[in-house]
Chain A
Amino acid sequence: MADRTTQSGIPLQPFYTAADRSSGGDDEASREPQSDPGEYPYTRGRLASPRRRDSWISQELSGEGTARRSNEQFRQLIERGARGLDVIGDAPTMSAMDPDHPLARHAVGNTGVSICRLQDFEDLYADLPLDELTFSHSLPPGAFAVAAFHRVAKRRGFDPKALRGSTILLPAYCEDCSYQIHMPYDLRMRLALDSIEFAATEMPRFHAFLEDTYYISDGGLNAIEEMALGFVEIREIVRTLIDRGLDVDAFAPRIAILVNCRMDLFEEVAKIRATRRIFARMMREEFGAKDPRSWSCAITAHTSGLSMTMAQPVNNVARGAVQGLALALAGVQAVEISCFDEAYRTPSHDAHMVSLRTQQIVQLEAGADRVADPLGGSYFVESLTDELEQRILEMVGSIESMGPLKEVSEKGWFRRLFQEAMTRRADAIQDGSETQIGVNAFVIPREEDRLLRDQSESKIEPYWGRIDEIRHFKDGRDAGAVAEQFARMREVAAEGETNLIEPIADAFEAGLTQGEIAGALRLGVGEAYDPLGQMEPPA
């Protein structure tokens, strides 16, 4: 191994010259001459000129306790200058389980918001201008959020066509990294495709097709693996939508990618530039998209939680600033910076403030985003962009050569990849090959490590009261309506043709919860209602 490499292992030279551009990349003949920002293949940016004041939408991940409590957090964030919201669910919500599930009892509302019924979504969006803000829903499966957002907006008199935001899908990977929803591949894929197809006509400004490579990569995948897996899934979804008879230009303009941003500044910049180029060429040349909006991919970014440490939490503020700078230099459409307490909890009020201020300082004081692609033409960054493009495409090719994505996924190949990445990363920290200040370098005694310590380690108690609230809610419903919608949900899941979004919204409206809808869908495709075998169907 070279003595200098990027975080993903690309060997580095001591310096770069014009000669490195042509030696580094893919086949020279196919490369376009250097284009401008806003021009195909969009390496240098999606837009010709960044927006005048702030080039990206500032968001911060939020959500804790009940939907009402999270709605208060939203308002505070907006007051401080956030222009988008990103809500994350607690562990049961992320797994499509209700708070009254026995296994959820100490996990309600303390790692995100507890959401399970339509009323919760109404409380979440209460009094907010749904047509003015963007709402990112880190609430899998995305189909539930699409159905609920659409239905609540309609009920409140907003035109769903004006709704903006996103939801995450991850049909190929979500069982293998982080939170499981316990649904088989075909059902997960159908929920994803139905969400995209529904949103393409009903919520055309909403990104129902958000490839969230942050979510899959923050266990320890490197930048190449992150984007290769992202593109494998995007390609599979695009091919399947085309097979369903959709015109690629009907949905491609609303494809977005939410990328991770680690600490390797130049590699992350080059990764984002390479991603835009790969996407543009793939959509135009391979999938035949004609609309230029289908070629230029919206990219949003969330800085790596894994890069944040429990040791010396104040160091995380410096990390956030470097990552924010990387994103400004790469050019992205929205940014979230992980907070100084990220290693311990979902962000507190104070931590939100620091992260938002970091974004504002990078943009408005440092002016790092005043010009599109300020690193364009750098010998090093252009060479690294070529190298990353080539390595990402090679890995995409090698995964696709293993067979149909469903088989590769069901064989457990991705699960092994995620596991290996986790142990590889643990080793790199343990043996010091990846430096983390305060962890394996420049360590200070624990008793001296006090700065921001108490703020970073304040706990959120579980919202135990919510468990009874939901039990009570379930007991008070119209049993006939619940039974009817439950049966319909099972039926449409089994029959396999109907788009699932309207039936899910109807089920919500009849009082069904996410846990019950997920259970009905599972029953419809021959799986157990509750994968953990502890809950009975409502009807």
Chain B
Amino acid sequence: MSAPRPIRILLAILGMDQHEAGAFAVARLLRDAGMEVIYLGRFGTPEIVAAAAQEEGVDVIGLSCHSWEYLYYLEELFELLKSRELDVPVVVGGSVLSQSDESEIQAKGVAATFGPGSDSAEIVQRIRNLVEARGAA
């Protein structure tokens, strides 16, 4: 039996949000857990993210946020993914995620959210579960 393909995750920051601390920490965490991380860097847009997700054939899209801009970009991103017929779960993590934001964006279709103080092991496990649940479907 061959080893399973590692999970591929696209990590992005949208708009003018330029705080990368969270993105770096999560990128390293996921790499250490054996995932392939494609970090798009700063100044991302929904177009850039959707195109990269398709080109790279990722299993998950992760948005890192330290400003509220992601709230206004999410719908656009979901539409673009739909128009590209990409069924990829979107997860959002960041320092500015409040409890009410978490429920609000989950209602909009975000598959998982990670607020400040999220546990490393929990982040890795929930991303794995998401991908495995899809593989099984």
**Which residues of A are at the interface with B, using a C-beta cutoff of 8 A?**
90-92, 95, 97, 102-107, 110-111, 178-180, 219-220, 309-311, 343-345, 419, 422-423, 425-427, 430, 439-440, 443, 446, 457, 459-460, 462, 532
CB contact under 8 A between A107 and B17, given known A423-B28, A426-B25: yes
| Chain A residues, CB < 8 A from B116 | 309-311, 343, 439
Kindly count the residue-residue contacts between A and B in the assembled complex, taking CB atoms under 8 Å apart.
Answer: 84
Q: A178 touching B99 by the CB < 8 A rule?
A: no
CB distance from B95 to the nearest CB of A (A): 7
CB contact under 8 A between A103 and B16, given known A457-B100, A459-B68: yes
**Across the two chains, which residue of chain A brings its CB closest to B14?**
A106
Q: A419 touching B117 by the CB < 8 A rule?
A: no
| Chain B residues, CB < 8 A from A440 | 117
Q: For the complex, what is the distance from the CA of A195 to the CA of B130, rounded to whole Å?
A: 53
CB distance from A230 to the nearest CB of B (A): 20
Q: A439 touching B18 by the CB < 8 A rule?
A: no
Q: B16 touching A457 by the CB < 8 A rule?
A: no
Please tell me if B40 contacts chain A, counting CB pairs below 8 Å: no
Point out the residue from A90, A104, A439 that lies within 8 Å of B117, measured CB to CB: A439
Q: A532 touching B43 by the CB < 8 A rule?
A: yes
Q: B21 touching A92 by the CB < 8 A rule?
A: no
| Chain B residues, CB < 8 A from A103 | 15-16, 43, 45
Q: A178 touching B19 by the CB < 8 A rule?
A: yes
Q: A219 touching B21 by the CB < 8 A rule?
A: yes
Task: For chain B, residues 34 to 75, give those with C-beta under 8 angstroms from any C-beta of chain A.
Answer: 42-43, 45, 67-69, 71-73
| Chain A residues, CB < 8 A from B28 | 423
**Which residues of B are at the interface with A, using a C-beta cutoff of 8 A?**
15-22, 24-25, 28, 42-43, 45, 67-69, 71-73, 95-96, 98-100, 115-117, 120
| Chain A residues, CB < 8 A from B22 | 426
**Across the two chains, which residue of chain B brings its CB closest to A420?**
B24
| Chain B residues, CB < 8 A from A106 | 15, 68-69, 71-73
Q: A107 touching B69 by the CB < 8 A rule?
A: yes
Q: B117 touching A91 by the CB < 8 A rule?
A: no
CB contact under 8 A between A446 and B99, given known A91-B67, A310-B115, A310-B116: yes
Sample of 17 further A-B pairs with CB below 8 A, known A103-B43, A106-B68: A91-B15, A91-B67, A97-B16, A103-B15, A106-B72, A110-B68, A179-B18, A219-B19, A219-B21, A310-B116, A343-B116, A344-B98, A422-B24, A423-B24, A430-B120, A457-B98, A459-B68
Q: A426 touching B68 by the CB < 8 A rule?
A: no
CB distance from A97 to the nearest CB of B (A): 7
| Chain A residues, CB < 8 A from B95 | 310, 343
Q: Name the residue among B19, B21, B28 with the largest chain A CB count within 10 angstroms.
A: B21
Q: A95 touching B18 by the CB < 8 A rule?
A: yes
Give 19 CB contacts A-B under 8 Å.
Answer: A103-B16, A104-B15, A106-B15, A107-B17, A110-B67, A179-B18, A220-B21, A310-B95, A344-B98, A345-B96, A419-B20, A422-B20, A422-B24, A426-B24, A446-B99, A457-B98, A457-B100, A459-B68, A462-B68
CB distance from B119 to the nearest CB of A (A): 8
Q: B16 touching A422 by the CB < 8 A rule?
A: no
| Chain A residues, CB < 8 A from B96 | 310, 344-345
| Chain B residues, CB < 8 A from A532 | 43
